[in-house]
Amino acid sequence: MDINLLSLATLLVFGFIASFLNAIVGGGGLISLPALMAVGLPPSTAIATNKLANTISNGTSMLTFLRAGKVDFKQIGKILPFIFIGSLIGAYTVHLVSPSILKPLMLVMLVLVATYTVLKKDWGQNATERILSAGKKLGFLCAFAAIGFYDGFFGPGTGSFFIFILLMMGNDFLQAAGNAKAFNFTSNLAALSMFLVLGQVNFMYGLPMGFVMIFGAILGSKFALKRGTKLMRMIFIVMTCLLIVKNAWDYFGSH
């Protein structure tokens, strides 16, 4: 496949910005996926290529948070297989159904996430120990599996959804961001595996973009760890609102 140098340069710039923001509070898909589609990749190939780049980026972010003690595999280890399976199914579904069918539901969910976070001013500032009933544990597992499916199927906003559920479980913003990186890496890896089998990944764009995203992920992760929970809460709200505006524009503009 021929490669357009201007398109590649565009993807490197936007990939770096996407990975920097994604490492802090998620939402990088708001930038990276539209950039891939803007250079002419069809939706399924853009989603698949985005998964390659984001697997590299989220793996880097996860390692940075892990070294800082902000990834708790004891807490999240049993959740990872559900996310992996959900994402596999979601990725397989991409070539059967258009991802655009999820946009209305995603918009509603993002509005609820933003509203709840704004109203709960002290939410996520400190970690709290919460003893969950069997019913709540099952509910959270189903939520994580559903987000995994969404990530394999489409993607933008996945990090925000993971962080939101982790905050509900009692994590503070830093711990939630670290654990969400492990979730993101798992779902990206599962989706990437499926897309590789289906032959939909564009390596000519995906690998260079992923390489540059390593540096954005490292800088973003260190920024988050240094600045703490208060600034992360503000950035989380801003990124969620940007996701709402971007996807509302896309959805209502297409109608």
Residue 227 pLDDT class (50, 70, 90 cuts): confident
- Coil, strand, or helix at residue 228? coil
pLDDT over 70 at 125, yes or no: no
* Least confident residue range of 72-76, 207-211, 244-248: 244-248
Q: Which of 21, 63, 12 is nearest to 232 (CA)?
A: 21
Neighbours of 125 (CB within 10 A): 15
pLDDT over 80 at 254, yes or no: no
Task: For the chain, give the percent of residues with pLDDT over 70.
Answer: 88
* Residues whose CB is less than 8 angstroms from the CB of residue 86 and which lie 6 or more positions away in sequence, other chains included: 144, 145, 146, 147, 148, 149, 151, 152, 187, 190
Output the CA–CA distances (angstroms, integers) from residue 241 to 10, 20, 177, 252, in the order listed: 24, 18, 18, 16
* Residues whose CB is less than 8 angstroms from the CB of residue 221 and which lie 6 or more positions away in sequence, other chains included: 23, 24, 60, 61, 64, 65, 181
Tell me the mean pLDDT in the region 189-210.
Answer: 95
Q: How many residues belong to the chain?
A: 255
Greater confidence (131 vs 32) lies with 32
* Least confident residue range of 59-73, 75-89, 158-172: 158-172
pLDDT digits (tens, 9 = 90+) for 176-192: 889 999 999 999 999 99
Q: Which of 229, 243, 211, 215 is nearest to 61 (CA)?
A: 215
Greater confidence (115 vs 39) lies with 39
Q: Which of 205, 213, 202 is nearest to 9 (CA)?
A: 205
Tell me the mean pLDDT in the region 231-236.
Answer: 73
pLDDT over 70 at 22, yes or no: yes
pLDDT digits (tens, 9 = 90+) for 137-166: 899 999 999 999 999 988 877 888 898 899
State the helix-helix crossing angle for 203-227 and 5-25, rounded to 10 degrees: 30
pLDDT at residue 242 in the model: 77
Q: CA torsion sign, 37 to 40 to 42 to 47?
A: negative
pTM above 0.85, yes or no: no
Which DSSP category does 40 fall into? T
pLDDT at residue 129 in the model: 65
Cα distance between residue 6 and residue 102, in whole Å: 32
Tell me the mean pLDDT in the region 45-67.
Answer: 93
pLDDT at residue 119 in the model: 72
Cα distance between residue 61 and residue 221, in whole Å: 6
Q: Which of 23, 3, 5 is nearest to 214 (CA)?
A: 23
